[in-house]
Structure formats: C-alpha cells, structure tokens
Structure 1
Amino acid sequence: MEDFRKIIVLANREPPGNLPLLAQSLGFEAEVVRDDIQAMEKADDSTLLAIPFSGLRLDKHGLPNTLRHAMQFSPIFLYQVESRLVDPQIALMLGVRGLIHREEQLDQVLLAIKLLMRGQLYYDRALLSALVDDMVRQRQSLGAEQGDVSAMMSLTRQEKRIIELVGQGARNKEIAYNLNISAHTVKAHLSSIFRKTQSRNRVELLRWAQQLSREPRMMM
C-alpha cells in the first residue's frame, strides 16, 4: 500500500476530537466531514478515512452498517475505541486498518497516525504475531487449494520471511534492518509478494495467509 496524503474524519455521530489537529501537526492534510456523501465525494486512493468509535461495538456479530458502507469507498481506521467493545482480531480480519484506543497517550496516537499514513497497519504486535504463528502451526497439518499452492511455491525464501515479519507488525525499515537489505529492496519484494498472492495491500496479504492456514497441508 502506498502512503496516504490526507485524512478525512467522518464525524456524523460524534465530535471529531483532536485527531484532525494532531494529523495537521504532523504535516498531513486533514478534513472533517459530517456525512457519508461528503466523505465519498472527497475520497480517493490517497485518502484514509478516520471514524470516531466511542461507545460502539465491533465483535463476532460483524461490522456495523455504517462502517461497511464507508469501507466501500475508502480504507478506514477507528479511533476513540473502547477496548471492551471492540475485538481487534475481528476488526483486522474485516479490513479495518487500525484501532486507536481512548486510553492511548498522545505520543502513541501521533505514532499511530504516522504509521497509518505510511500505509501500514496499526494493531498490537502480539496480535499480528499470534495470527502468523497460528497460520504456521495449522499449515503443518493442513494443505492448500491448487491456486494457493502455486502462489506459495512461487514465493522465494526471502519473500516468505518478509510475510512473517509483516505478520509481526514490522515496518519496512525494520524489515530492512532485520534482513540486512535496503528499504527500497523491501518495497520491491512486497510488490512481488502482492502480485504473486493477488493481494492489494498488507491487510489482504494477512487474509491470504490466514486462509492458507485453513486449507489442506502444503510443504514449504
């Protein structure tokens, strides 16, 4: 996923809080809109939609209709999230790019905005790592459909390692440092991985890996 240039805050249910000002303090363009129509008119490939989510639930019952509609025209993340009401694993699997919780300190919120605007996911690393670990364990006893077999077989050892690091929440610079390669080379590998797995971004790549874990066994 390429970097985003602008945040659109959809404040149709509650005030936008200080997120627009924080984004602007980091040099990002931010705009508050009051309804879905405005958001849809202003959204494009360079925009990220932020939705205040205080007091709302996202769990096994699925994605609220307001979010489902918003995701049709823009990638989204949620902020002012209450931990007791939102299941992060379900949010990730449904395509939400990140969760910023109400109790997070200012420096952490600023970091979250930076990462999200760089096209990265913002979730607890333990969650991302657990998902990949579960995928690897299940893959040892399960197989894959022919298409997934072909995709996995086409991946190089380096690309497989990068997928593991992505699943652990590593940023491009961290992947580069870990593998002793340049950040430019990491981007090139990710482009190749997205093409081979038919994924458009990191969220879809994690979905592909998760799906692989549910299918019959395949040798690495």
Structure 2
Amino acid sequence: MISKSLFVLTKYHTDLYNDDFLLLLKVLETVTPKVKVDSRLPAIDSRANFALFLVDAAYSSCSELLNEEIIDLAKSNHVALYNAMPTKVHEQTALLANIKGIIYKKDEPENTFKGVRRILSGELWFCRKTMSKTLSELVQQVPNFVKTPQTDLVSLNVLTAREKSVISLLAKGAKNEDIANTLNISCHTVKTHIYSAFRKTKSRNRIELANWAQRFMPAASIVTR
C-alpha cells in the first residue's frame, strides 16, 4: 500500500451511494485505505498529500473536463480520469494535457485496480495505439520546436481573436460542431478558422495545433469569446 492518500473529484450531482461508485471506492481502498471524496479540489498547499487525483469524467468531453484548474493540477500532480465514456473523451487530447491515464466506466474492477497501480508507479494508462500515434505525431513536429520564441510570438500576434478562441476550444478536445455551438458560428466558419490557424502557426494537423497552443498561447489568451 502507498503512504499518501487518493483524491476522488466527483461531480456535484454524483450519487455517492451508487453501486458502481461504491465498487470504485472498494477497489481504491485495496490500494490505500486513505481515500478522500469531494466535489471540490483541496487547497493548493495540501495537494502534495495526495498521490493521485481521479477526476469524474462521466458524460463529459475533454473540452468540458480539461478546464484551466484541471490542466494546472496535472502540471504538478498525478491526475487520471475515471468513469469515462469512449464516445466522449479524446485520449490524445488528455495525454497531451499531461493526464496520466483514463479509466472507463465499462472497465472491470481488475482493470481499474491495475490502471491505478500502474499510474502510481509512474506509468501511463492509455491504449498502446493512442500512445504510439501521439508519440509519432510529436516526433514529426520536432523541427517545428526549433523555431525561435520570436517566430512564435509573430505567429501568435497574427492570429485573430476568433482564431484564438477556436484554437483554445480545439486544444481542449472540442470537435468542430462543439466549437460552432460554443461560438455561435457555422461549422464551415470553424473549418475556415482552423485552416487559417494551420497556415499561420505552420501546423499540419489538429494535434500539432493543440500542442502549439499549449506551448505558445498565454493562459490569458486561451479563453472562449
């Protein structure tokens, strides 16, 4: 067993007496008896007491889950998604946001236990295809990382406010339709902004553009307009 606690971040409406949730707690308690459950994250100065934060991903997409608070949490803590649905989450987006793994709602208790243990030992808990594809695409981008900061500042400055809003949502895993609904524009307009952003940032695909945003767009620019 580990010495630190596990933290389970639930949604406000989560039924804590649901059979599936109680089963999850039993699985976690086989890893450590110290499991804290709350719908709010602990204070920043106490987060070092937790070995892993499990974030409830039920019925949520990455664009909804990976808000600024969770992204900041994942920068200095082990964070995993649980209760996830394959049709809602995008593994590559989560992986690029430094999420350590995804535990799906349909997973058997044995797989949940195995995933938590792997993450706690410093491994990632994603399917091999996701990790291979993400690594391959990141390797292809390596020449782009050689650009000087001034070059990327120029790229950022030539982006319009609307393009920055589209990139922000894309970087959080939103699909074109989701972006269109959020910004109240057409899917065709979304595509136009994305292709323009590809050209201005010298990105070749959505993964490269999302990674570019995480590297070079200031947090203050990553907002929805």
Q: TM-score, normalised by structure 2?
A: 0.52
Aligned position for 2:131 = 128
Aligned position for 1:53 = 57
Q: Which amino acid aligns with 2:28?
A: A
Deviation at 1:12, TM superposition (A): 4.4
**Within the alignment, does 1:78 sit opposite 2:77 as a pair?**
no
The runs of 5 or more residues in structure 2 that have no matched partner are 150-207, 216-225
The question of whether the paired residues in 2 share the 8 Å contact of 1:43 and 1:73 is answered with: no
**Within the alignment, does 1:100 sit opposite 2:103 as a pair?**
yes
The question of whether the paired residues in 2 share the 8 Å contact of 1:5 and 1:29 is answered with: no
Which of 19, 37, 43 in structure 2 is aligned with 1:33? 37
Aligned position for 1:44 = 48
Deviation at 1:39, TM superposition (A): 6.0
Give the whole-Å Cα distance in 2 for the aligned partners of 1:135 and 1:73: 22
Deviation at 1:80, TM superposition (A): 0.5
Q: Judging changes above 3 Å, is the alpha-carbon distance between structure 1 residues 32 and 15 closer, same or farther for their aligned structure 2 residues?
A: farther
Q: Judging changes above 3 Å, is the alpha-carbon distance between structure 1 residues 144 and 81 closer, same or farther for their aligned structure 2 residues?
A: same
Q: Judging changes above 3 Å, is the alpha-carbon distance between structure 1 residues 35 and 69 closer, same or farther for their aligned structure 2 residues?
A: farther
Give the whole-Å Cα distance in 1 for the aligned partners of 2:137 and 2:76: 31
Aligned position for 2:9 = 10
Deviation at 1:119, TM superposition (A): 2.3
**Within the alignment, does 1:23 sit opposite 2:28 as a pair?**
yes
SS in 2 for 1:23: helix
Q: Which amino acid aligns with 1:19?
A: L
Cα deviation per residue 1:122-173 (whole Å; 9 max; x = unaligned)?
111111111222233444x6562479xxxxxxxxxxxxxxxxxxxxxxxxxx
The question of whether the paired residues in 2 share the 8 Å contact of 1:8 and 1:50 is answered with: yes
Deviation at 1:47, TM superposition (A): 2.2
The runs of 5 or more residues in structure 1 that have no matched partner are 148-206, 215-220
Which of 91, 94, 98 in structure 1 is aligned with 2:94? 91
The question of whether the paired residues in 2 share the 8 Å contact of 1:36 and 1:70 is answered with: no
Cα deviation per residue 1:32-65 (whole Å; 9 max; x = unaligned)?
3324254656421652111222111214x77236
Q: Which amino acid aligns with 1:5?
A: K
Higher helix share: 2
The question of whether the paired residues in 1 share the 8 Å contact of 2:5 and 2:36 is answered with: no
The question of whether the paired residues in 2 share the 8 Å contact of 1:12 and 1:33 is answered with: no
Deviation at 1:113, TM superposition (A): 1.0
Q: Judging changes above 3 Å, is the alpha-carbon distance between structure 1 residues 126 and 99 closer, same or farther for their aligned structure 2 residues?
A: same
SS in 2 for 1:44: helix
The question of whether the paired residues in 1 share the 8 Å contact of 2:9 and 2:54 is answered with: yes
Give the whole-Å Cα distance in 2 for the aligned partners of 1:73 and 1:126: 26
Kindly name which structure, 1 or 2, has the bigger radius of gyration based on alpha carbons.
Answer: 2
CA RMSD of aligned residues (A): 3.5
Q: Judging changes above 3 Å, is the alpha-carbon distance between structure 1 residues 44 and 88 closer, same or farther for their aligned structure 2 residues?
A: same
Q: Judging changes above 3 Å, is the alpha-carbon distance between structure 1 residues 103 and 35 closer, same or farther for their aligned structure 2 residues?
A: closer
Give the whole-Å Cα distance in 2 for the aligned partners of 1:20 and 1:62: 21
Query: Percent identity between the aligned chains?
Result: 15
